[in-house]
Structure formats: structure tokens, C-alpha cells
């Protein structure tokens, strides 16, 4: 399915987006604009080339950090910076009509590529996701994300791993 990904704008028809998960639909309709305006997150939408208003899927990226309950000097010395800066893929959703066609994985790739490109300017160590449930967590695991033992719905992928993928130009 050919798609065009761009930053959320006023032209996008957010009201008709339906991914089947109410909190994800409502967030796009009611809060994504505020998240952008307050610079809490950037929101990226996918549309088809011939209908730039209907949203096929979206994701959002936000700055985040990882800290440790215990961080002895021997550990912090190994880190470039502490707490560790990461990028959060805060939400990722695909409209019902486009589900089952690999669009989610392609949007995930777009999100991690974008995070990786940004990290060339402002370095971060990894991309983190917060899966909404176990099924979603397993989907991220299939795509190489590593889950935390004590927080199994939080998963991450290192920038080094993302860097090993073939990136789009620019």
C-alpha cells in the first residue's frame, strides 16, 4: 500500500479515524493537536497519495529518559549521560480499513528511522515503546524489540540496531 507520511496538520481529517482502540482514536482526535502545540510530542500521519485528508495510520514521538533504581559509579561511568536519553514511540495506530497489510510495521520503521535521524543531531541511545497489552508487546518483540523483565509492556530497540537497517535518503 503506497503511503505518504507527514506531520499532523489542519488538513488531516482526524474525526473519522477509527483503529478499533478507543483511547488511540480519541487521543488523535482530541489531544494530538495539543501535544504538538505544547511541544510534548510530534505526531506523524500516513495518508494515501490520492487522499491527503483520510488518515490511514499515525504515530507520535516524544523525548523520554531512562533512569535506574540503583546506579553505582561503576555503571554510570560506562554511560555517556545519565539518565539515559531515549525517544518514546508514544502511540502507533492503523485504521481498521488498512489493518492486516503490514502498514503498522512500515509505520514502526518510519518512526524508528525518524528517531534515528533526529539522534544524529541530538543523540539518544534507544527507542522505547509502551505496548498497550501483551499481544502488542509480542508484536514489538517479533520486530526485535527487547522487553524489560519487570515492566514487560515496556520494550526498547537500540539506536545501533536501528542504524544497521537500510535508511531512506534524507
Residue 140 known to be catalytic: yes
Render the burial of 143-169: b for 16+ CB within 10 Å, e for the rest. eebebeeeeeebbbbebebbeeeeeee
Could you tell me the smallest distance in angstroms from the CB atom of residue 47 to another protein? 9
Q: Which of 58, 59, 82, 140 is catalytic?
A: 140
User: Closest separation between CB of residue 10 and another protein, Å?
Assistant: 13
Q: How far is the CB of 109 from another protein (least distance, A)?
A: 4
Q: 15 or 96, CB closer to another protein? A: 15
Rounded Cα–Cα distance for residues 65 and 104 (Å): 25
d(CA 118, CA 125): 11
Which residues would be at the binding site for another protein (CB under 8 A)? 1-6, 22-23, 26, 30-31, 33-34, 40, 46, 49, 62-71, 75, 78, 83-84, 86, 90, 102, 105-106, 108-110, 113, 125-126, 128, 130, 142-144, 146, 148-151, 154, 156, 158, 160-162, 164-166, 168, 170
- Closest CB to another protein among 96 and 101? 101
Least Å from the CB of residue 71 to another protein: 8
Contact between 36 and 74 under an 8 Å Cβ cutoff? The reply is no
Buried b (16+ CB within 10 A) or exposed e, 29-56: eebbbebbeeeebbbbbbbeeeeeebbb
Q: Which is nearer to another protein, 75 or 96 (CB)?
A: 75
Question: Do residues 64 and 94 make contact, with C-beta atoms less than 8 angstroms apart?
Answer: no
- Which residues are known catalytic residues? 140
Amino acid at each position: 500500500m503506497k503511503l505518504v507520511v507527514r506531520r499532523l496538520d489542519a488538513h488531516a481529517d482526524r474525526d473519522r479515524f477509527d483503529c478499533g482502540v478507543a483511547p488511540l482514536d480519541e487521543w488523535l482526535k482530541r489531544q494530538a493537536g495539543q501535544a504538538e502545540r505544547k511541544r510534548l510530542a510530534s505526531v506523524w500521519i500516513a495518508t494515501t497519495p490520492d487522499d491527503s485528508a483520510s488518515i490511514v495510520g499515525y504515530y507520535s514521538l516524544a523525548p523520554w529518559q531512562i533512569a535506574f533504581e540503583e546506579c553505582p559509579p561503576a555503571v554510570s561511568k560506562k554511560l555517556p549521560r545519565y539518565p539515559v536519553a531515549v525517544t518514546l514511540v508514544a502511540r502507533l495506530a492503523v485504521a481498521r480499513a488498512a489493518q492486516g497489510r503490514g502498514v503498522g510495521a512500515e509505520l514502526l520503521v518510519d518512526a524508528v528511522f525518524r528517531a534515528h535521524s533526529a539522534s544524529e543531531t541530538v543523540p539518544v541511545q534507544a527507542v522505547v515503546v509502551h505496548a498497550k497489552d501483551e499481544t502488542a508487546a509480542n508484536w514489538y518483540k517479533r520486530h526485535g524489540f527487547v522487553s524489560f523483565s519487570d515492566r514487560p509492556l515496556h520494550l526498547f530497540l537500540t539506536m545501533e540496531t536501528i542504524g544497521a537497517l537500510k535508511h531512506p535518503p534524507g
